[in-house]
Structure 1
């Protein structure tokens, strides 16, 4: 999810008008006696300079929801006009929620559910991205939201990028905030097996049921085989007398790697 401060259509119009204005000034310069080749390269250079200037002023906010999503933002430099928030840290999964047993699908995730509620119930003209991040860290329990990039940009008001809901919308969602609690919380890497198990339980055709069960058993066997291939990781941690949370983190990381 990307939030731009300015629309790209405005950018294209602005860049085109600015370029034409500067290019005409360059053409009318009586001291400019350039060849056709120089004209071509000067044209490209001027366009490049305008694009570079605009990119320096463009500001962007990124939200990423996926397992290990922090790994996609952890190398984001702090000296660019980009601020990012991930649903999970680089080494752990995010969490799905709201299982729809009719459609056999999880229709949301814990991070996005809390993010949407916060955006709907808050006065975004007075709420900064940092305020929102602190809210997410306090409400999201099954994963660890992380922030990356420009620390100054996170002090901007969210309404500068996203607009703001009206007062009636904010009041309606604020009333539900105290009782809001996502259900069916499931680590994302476990979702395929949970859904497959649901299909097995609901299947009435014996042949199809056996086929689904074989698929389920094969996947479980693949998991065991994969974990056995990485048993040396856990052995090294145990020999080093690693703390329990490090061992659990390693198990989760290996297991989620197998799933994806």
Structure 2
């Protein structure tokens, strides 16, 4: 039996489980809110073209209105000024879109402190227990934040001091960008950076450093609690938008059971 036939058979029998890591995309999907004078993306919206009526008696279809960075989505280098000479979303290497992934769980610390920042020592401690980060693969950072994804206010968790959501320290972002073999970082929050990232140095360090290094981000993931620390194969399916800085994406995990 060929390798692909074995894979297909294993999925069919449940030997390999397909876990959907994608948040449902609707007008209720939480979106990032930047302060003035910065521009903001629009909420997702369907605009009906026809629905079995005089506009089209036997078909239903819609136009979609959305931003590139709405819901579960992929960030690519050109999204940030530090990566402006890098590739757009139509040019992402295919080996990035189907690649191994590991899960680092910091949900216990985030439960105590929503502003928790992952540090280099946290990742090294994970490696000591689980092995090295995957070459050309993804680090998926579980914080438990997906439980808030049904409500915009809870998901952004903002007050007069800004948003309070977990992220990565500047030193760790630089280390992940420059010294590790991963292709990108996946998170459960609205963006790869912490809610308080505007006050860090550099500002928005995951965007600045990872995208500047030609790496990638995945945001608003769900169901990371269903994945083991190692052994996942990630499948990322963005739209190949020519010139696009990112795209909503369906993200699937293949896990051997």
Q: Which protein has greater RCO, CA pairs closer than 8 Å, 6+ apart?
A: 2
Larger radius of gyration: 1
Q: Where on the TM-score scale, by shorter chain, does this alignment land: which range?
A: under 0.3
TM-score, reference length from structure 1: 0.22
Which structure has the highest helix share of the two? 1
The TM-score with structure 2 as length reference comes to: 0.22
